[in-house]
Amino acid sequence: MTAVWEVYLQETLINEDELQAKIKELGAQISEDYRDKDLLLICILKGGVLFLTDLMRQISIPHEIDFLAVSSYGKEIRDSTGVVRILKDLDEPIDGRHILIVEDIIDTGHTLDYITRNLIARKPASLKICTLLDKAERREVEIPIDYTGFVIPNKFVFGFGLDLDEKFRELPFIGVVNPGMVVD
């Protein structure tokens, strides 16, 4: 029996083993870089959740987490609207903390530019960015990325936290969407 998501998959871009190996590498580097620091991971919802969960398991130093939900996409919209809204703010103040934003994908940079400006205004000790996927060729706003999992081509991707019209986030790999396919 064919899984529902298979009809939307053009190709597997990054398989589960590749993802987990890169996340282990990122976790080791973050652990070294933040040794003896008060580290707070801020996950950008919803797409960053799977990445955050696996990354936390690979970070060997004490750390805390918080969540920020923003929107610059509408349902069934494949391109950012350019208008960023905070849907869920942080639970605690971040002044004086070492902040690492954990993001699933960065493409145009508009959303993350807004987020970083917003968080810098809250006076953290430091602010860095960790992204699983960097779609660099779509960048419209320069974003300083400190930790990058994979640089990917300008293709619409789903799986491992990234959705296709709010579905298929649970897949353990990153897949490329078949052009023209729409989820019912």
Residues carrying an active site annotation = 107
Both tokens of 78, joined, read 């494949």
Could you tell me if 92 and 60 are in contact, meaning their C-beta atoms sit under 8 angstroms apart? no
Strands of the chain (E only): list them.
Answer: 9-14, 39-45, 63-71, 85-88, 98-106, 126-134, 147-151, 157-158, 174-177
Among 115, 118, 93, 96, CA closest to 104: 115
CA distances from 50 to 84, 133, 143, 144, 174 (A): 22, 13, 22, 23, 12
